[in-house]
């Protein structure tokens, strides 16, 4: 895959939200959804920032980066053995996009 850029990262994360049903509380166990909802908010904030829209202060950006890091760990996106085989390429792209975004938000 070519190097990630802001536009590509924003687009991939934007596609991931509905794919992973992050806006659908009924798709999740009641105790799981609060963390998914927080990660979704962090992703939406990151999308705005990646697209050059001033969306938050430094503290909010750092918190969004933290939420994204937790999301990767909690949902095993950083573990290819956990991915469904038919989705490997897309999940790998999203993982790269989120990792790129975490670094971007911490700058």
Q: Is 33 domain-assigned?
A: yes
The pTM of this model reads: 0.91
Q: Is 38 domain-assigned?
A: yes
Q: Is 1 domain-assigned?
A: no
Q: Is 101 domain-assigned?
A: yes
Host domain of residue 65: 6-106
- Contact call for residues 71 and 98 (beta carbons, < 8 A): yes
State the pLDDT at residue 56: 77
Residues of the chain with pLDDT under 70: 1-2
- Contact call for residues 43 and 17 (beta carbons, < 8 A): yes
Number of domains in the chain: 1
Length of the chain in residues, anyone? Answer: 107
pLDDT digits (tens, 9 = 90+) for 69-90: 999 999 888 888 888 888 899 9
């Amino acid at each position: 895959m070519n190097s990630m850029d802001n536009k590509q990262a924003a687009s991939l994360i934007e596609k991931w939200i509905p794919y992973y049903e992050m806006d659908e509380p009924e798709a999740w166990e009641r105790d799981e959804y609060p963390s998914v909802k927080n990660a979704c908010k962090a992703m939406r904030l990151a999308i705005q920032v990646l697209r050059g829209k001033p969306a938050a202060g430094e503290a909010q950006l750092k918190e969004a980066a933290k939420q994204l890091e937790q999301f990767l760990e909690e949902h095993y996106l950083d573990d290819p053995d956990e991915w469904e085989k038919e989705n490997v390429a897309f999940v790998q792209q999203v993982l790269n996009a989120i990792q790129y975004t975490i670094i971007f938000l911490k700058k």
